[in-house]
C-alpha cells in the first residue's frame, strides 16, 4: 500500500486517524490561509484543504496519498475561524449560544497525479450558554485553537444540544467521506489497512 500522509498539525485530525488504527505520517503544511479564498464556506474549506495537500506533495513528491483538511464554523453568512484572543472567543460563543450553525470541513486527497476535492457539512444546535459559563470555558484556554471557539470532543461538547451530520466532521475531519474517497478513488480500503 502507498504511504498515507496527513497534511496537518491538528492534534484532533491525528487522533481521529489513530483512533481507527490507520497507519499514517503527519506533516504540517504551512500555507497561506487568508489570501485568495472564495466567498463561500464550501469553497473556502476545499481551497485550504487542497493548498495543504499540494504543499506536502511538493515537499515529499508524488506517489504517496496525501490528505488535506480544513474546518470552519459558519453562521448567518459569516465564517468563524479560530479566535485571535479570549475576547473574540467569548464573542463567538455568545453568537453561537442558543442557535444552530454549520460546520464545514473540506477534504482534498491527492497522490500528485489525481486529486479529489470535496467537503462535508454538519448542523450543530447549541443550548443557551450563560455568560458565566462562557467566561469559565474561555478561561480553560480550550477554545483558543478551535474554529468557532469550541471543541465538541472536549469540554465544549457540554454546550451541544444536537447535531445533524457527521460527528467527526465537527471534530475536524469528515471520516466517512475520507474513507469513501480513499476506497473509491485511490483503491485504499481503510478496513484492510488498519494496524492489526
User: Which residues are catalytically annotated?
Assistant: 70
Distance from C-alpha of 46 to C-alpha of 34, rounded to nearest angstrom: 13
Torsion from C-alpha of 38, 39, 42, 48, nearest 10 degrees = 40
Phi-psi region of 95 (alpha: psi -120 to 50; beta: other; left: phi over 0): alpha
Query: Distance between CA atoms of 3 and 102, rounded to whole angstroms?
Result: 32
d(CA 143, CA 136): 11
Considering only CA atoms, give the Rg of the chain.
17
How far is the C-alpha of 83 from the C-alpha of 92, rounded, in Å? 8
Bridge partners of residue 72, in order along the sequence: 104
Q: Contact, 91 vs 139, CB < 8 A?
A: no
Amino acid at each position: 500500500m502507498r504511504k498515507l500522509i496527513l497534511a496537518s498539525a491538528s492534534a484532533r485530525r491525528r487522533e481521529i486517524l489513530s483512533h481507527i488504527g490507520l497507519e499514517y505520517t503527519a506533516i504540517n503544511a504551512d500555507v497561506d490561509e487568508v489570501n485568495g479564498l472564495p466567498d463561500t464556506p464550501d469553497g473556502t474549506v476545499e481551497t485550504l484543504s487542497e493548498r495543504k495537500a499540494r504543499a506536502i506533495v511538493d515537499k515529499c513528491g508524488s506517489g504517496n496519498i496525501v490528505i488535506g483538511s480544513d474546518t470552519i464554523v459558519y453562521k448567518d453568512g459569516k465564517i468563524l475561524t479560530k479566535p485571535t484572543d479570549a475576547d473574540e472567543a467569548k464573542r463567538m460563543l455568545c453568537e453561537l449560544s442558543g442557535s444552530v450553525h454549520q460546520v464545514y470541513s473540506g477534504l482534498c486527497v491527492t497522490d500528485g497525479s489525481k486529486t479529489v476535492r470535496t467537503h462535508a457539512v454538519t448542523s450543530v444546535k447549541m443550548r443557551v450558554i450563560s455568560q458565566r459559563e462562557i467566561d469559565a470555558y474561555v478561561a480553560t484556554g480550550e477554545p483558543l485553537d478551535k474554529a468557532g471557539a469550541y471543541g465538541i470532543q472536549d469540554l465544549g461538547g457540554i454546550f451541544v444540544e444536537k447535531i445533524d451530520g457527521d460527528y467527526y466532521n465537527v471534530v475536524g475531519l469528515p471520516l466517512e467521506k475520507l474513507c469513501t474517497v480513499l476506497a473509491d478513488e485511490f483503491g485504499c480500503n481503510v478496513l484492510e489497512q488498519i494496524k492489526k
